[in-house]
Amino acid sequence: MFNSLKEWFTEGIPIAEGTKWFVDELTDKLSFLFNPIKEHFGNFMEWMAEDVLMAIPPVVVIIVVALLAFLLSGKRLGLAAFSVVGLWLINNQGFWEQLMSTVTLVLIASLLSVIIGVPIGILMAKSKTAEAIITPVLDFMQTMPAFVYLIPAVAFFGIGMVPGVFASLIFATPPTVRFTNLGIRQVSKELVEASEAFGSTGTQKLFKVELPMAKATIMAGINQTVMLALSMVVIASMIGAPGLGREVLSALQRSNVGVGFVAGIGIVILAIIIDRFTQSMNNKGDKA
Amino acid sequence: MPIIEAKGLSKVFGKNSKQALKLLDEGLSKEDILQKTGSTVGVNRASFSVETGEIFVIMGLSGSGKSTLVRLINRLIEPTEGSIFIDGQDLAKMDKKELRQVRREKLGMVFQRFALFPNRTVLQNAEYGLEIQGVPKEERSKKAKEALEMVGLGGYIEQRPDQLSGGMQQRVGLARALANDPEVLLMDEAFSALDPLIRKDMQDELIDLQSNMKKTIIFITHDLDEALRIGDRIALMKDGSIVQIGTPEEILVNPANDYVEKFVEDVDRSKILNAGHIMKRPETINIDKHGPRVALERMREEGLSSILVVDSKRNLKGYVTADDASEARKKDVRDIHEILRTDIKKVEKDTAMQDIFTIINGSPIPVAVLENERLVGIIVRGAVIAALAGDSEVNIDNV
């Protein structure tokens, strides 16, 4: 014991070795779990991107998106017009297939983030201990450079869309967790008391009072999560995730500023549309 | 049997609650305990009982622990020590499920800032208590509508709470509590956030409601006038302890200690005190037995300038003045009837003091106080002024 302590002082604590050992062990021991995920989930996403979304003609997609934008933004034309022009431009530049891959990646990653993040946020709001443990974990997840997640992602799931989703899950889930926690804690104490005073069970209190009251805040968190997932798309292209990010990456590798710019614009357009969509869903919730 | 009974109910906020209670027993003050243990005494051994159908007011300044006390009654705050009996069952010993049942069936609560659910309509708010009990949609909407009719909001059921005024919002709060048909209503500063005029209306309506529905109401307030207006009995709190429990009259007339006295000294006493409180025992002579000589003698003994005349049944006949009696004695008049004056002012025993004020003003002789036609006392001008000033020896035994 003393010897190894002395060794650490002279030769450095083997954190890197330890982490590598841990990830290797995890990859090995949990391969029964990772392999089916890699296979089935990967197939599902490819099927969705290539067989489902690509089967719909771009014109139909553009019209549906524009209609939704029109309705969600309170029957104003701005967002609908932007969607039509933006999506048409992406198609015109020949990036439609890449767009569909990116959309698949972002939607699946966001959906999973919400499914995982909201319950964790609720847990944090309900338990001080949980909050004390989870908060530093969230800080860690958000400040660690996103590239670092790519390494275990590849170890676990190989290359392609699945490790991309995995990496963006880690990177993009924290806002949903934080905002859910915040939203529930911000519900007026008197409202919570009212619900308890009338004899609500914990579940009734959560679903009839706390979650409806926290909805706007939770939606703001989800909006953040979606945007972070999108920003992860470019990074995930480094481990073979298809989509607009891969075009940016290959343009970088070939120093082709033109293609890089066009693919980048595609991501910006997608980001604006997704952002406005999630925001107007939130506003609509407020009015109702 | 009282419907609610608290025995030694205590709440200490903080970690060393048991130790703090021990120090309380040793007689340390709230501040000392805070310094020694870091714990705050919220409620210190409150014991009281509330009878069915009574409006029981818990009054105190902010920080006196009254809001904590009301939350101990339905266990929104867990008591550190003590018992709270509802219909003979100890709430403090109940498990979660039993507690929920009691909250659903027996206790309704109305909040200071209304605590309405902003995402629900007025009707849905009133339905809340029934909804969580799993009452079918039609039945609960019927009961909620009845409760809303009762508070005069029948026409607003589809509105959102934020579309209503403060007074109307609190009516929704009241309807939400009434829809469950609870035995006891807990009202935590329910009218404090309202304008004075609306507050008064609500107080009147609450009194009406209570006399119609015979609900037991526990009402928290910091406003003494409100407490005196609506309370059948009042518990006064200071630093977490109940200082005095009594009817409004008892509290006003016989404050238990300096604190209560200080608290009540600003009250407009003319609205609360009546003739019975300030009258004195009258000096009288009997019209059938006594003549001017006795009258004069009596007045001399008592140092009066006039004396009241009654018959054997103590029915008031009038009064005689010292001048008249002296004159009559000189002329050797024996019959008191000869000098009897009848222009005396009379008030009933329960006449409010503010009304006596105008009567006694401009009356040279004391005002007679009658009960069932019989003379029970007199009021001299000095007594009215002294009572208004608040430093008189008013006697509750007269009441």
Q: Strand order in B374-379's β-sheet?
A: B346-348, B367-371, B374-379
Return the number of CB contacts < 8 Å for A and B. 60
Residue in B77, B100, B135, B192 to test binding to A, most A beta-carbons within 10 Å:
B100
Q: Any chain A CB within 8 A of the CB of B112?
A: yes
d(CA B333, CA B348) in angstroms, rounded, equals 33
**Chain B contacts in chain A segment 178-197 (CB below 8 A):** 188, 190-191, 193-197
Nearest residue, CB atoms, B76 vs list A196, A208, A209? A196
What CA–CA distance (Å, rounded) separates A207 from A181?
Answer: 14
Q: Which of A193, A195, A198, A211 to probe the B interface (max B CBs under 10 A)?
A: A198
Tell me if chain A has a CB within 8 Å of the CB of B143.
Answer: no
Q: Which residues in chain B have Cβ-Cβ distances shorter than 8 Å to A212?
A: 117, 119
Rounded to a whole number, what is the distance in Å from the CA of B91 to chain A's nearest CA? 13
| Domain boundaries of chain A, sorted by first residue | 2-55+93-287
β-pair type (B55-59, B241-246): unpaired
**Fold observed for domain A2-55+93-287:** MetI-like fold (1.10.3720)
Residue A197 to residue B109, Cβ atoms within 8 A: yes
Helices (H), chain A: 2-11, 15-29, 31-36, 42-46, 58-72, 78-92, 96-126, 128-143, 146-157, 161-185, 189-197, 202-205, 211-236, 244-253, 257-287
The verdict on B392 touching A (C-beta cutoff 8 Å) is no
What's the CA gap between B322 and B283, in Å, rounded? 13
> One digit per residue, pLDDT tens: chain B, 399 residues?
789 999 999 999 988 888 888 888 887 888 888 888 888 888 988 999 999 999 999 998 888 889 999 999 999 999 999 999 999 899 989 999 999 999 999 999 999 999 999 999 999 999 999 999 999 999 999 999 999 998 888 888 899 999 999 889 999 999 999 998 999 999 999 998 888 888 888 998 898 888 888 889 999 999 888 888 899 999 999 888 899 999 888 888 788 888 777 777 766 666 677 787 778 888 888 888 888 888 888 888 888 888 888 888 888 888 888 888 888 888 888 888 888 888 888 888 888 777 787 777 767 778 888 888 888 888 887 777 767 665 444 544 443
The CA distance from B53 to B116, in Å, is 26
Going by C-alpha positions, the residue among A200, A193, A208 that lies closest to residue B100 is: A200
pLDDT value of residue A172: 92
What are chain B's domains? 4-106+182-267 (3.40.50.300), 275-398 (3.10.580.10)
CB atoms within 10 A of CB B15: 11
The pLDDT profile of chain A, 288 residues, written as one tens digit per residue, is 667 777 777 777 888 888 889 888 888 888 888 888 888 888 888 888 888 888 888 889 899 999 988 888 877 888 889 999 999 999 888 888 889 989 989 999 999 999 999 999 999 999 999 999 999 999 998 888 888 888 888 888 888 888 889 989 999 999 999 999 999 999 999 999 999 999 999 999 999 999 999 999 999 999 999 999 998 877 888 888 888 888 999 998 999 999 899 999 999 999 999 998 888 877 754 443
Cβ separation B74–A197 shorter than 8 A:
yes
Nearest CA to CA, how far is A198 from chain B (Å)?
5
- Residue identified by tokens 């000189």 is B330
Task: Answer whether A201 touches B (CB < 8 Å).
Answer: yes
**Closest chain B residue by Cα to residue A212:** B119
| A197 contacts B103? CB cut-off 8 A | yes
Would an 8 Å CB–CB cutoff place B133 in contact with chain A? yes
pTM score: 0.76
Do B108 and A198 count as a contact with CB atoms less than 8 A apart? yes
Residue of B nearest to A287 (CA): B119
> Does any CB of chain B come closer than 8 Å to the CB of residue A213?
yes
Q: Measured between alpha carbons, how far is B27 from B33 in angstroms, rounded to an integer?
A: 10
B76–A198 C-beta distance less than 8 A: no
Is there a contact between A199 and B133 if contact means CB atoms under 8 Å apart? Answer: yes
Do the Cβ atoms of B128 and A198 come within 8 Å?
yes
Kindly report the nearest CA distance between residue A219 and chain B, in angstroms: 16
C-beta atoms of B103 and A199 within 8 A: yes
Residue with the two structure tokens 């989703």: A165
**Residue A280 touches partner B, C-beta closer than 8 Å:** no
**Contact assignment for A194 to B107 by CB distance below 8 Å:** no
**What is the dihedral angle through the alpha carbons of B220, B224, B225, B231, rounded to the nearest 10 degrees?**
50
Shortest Cα distance, chain B CAs vs residue A152, angstroms = 44
Distance CA B123, CA B268 (A): 40
CB–CB of B119 and A212 under 8 A? yes
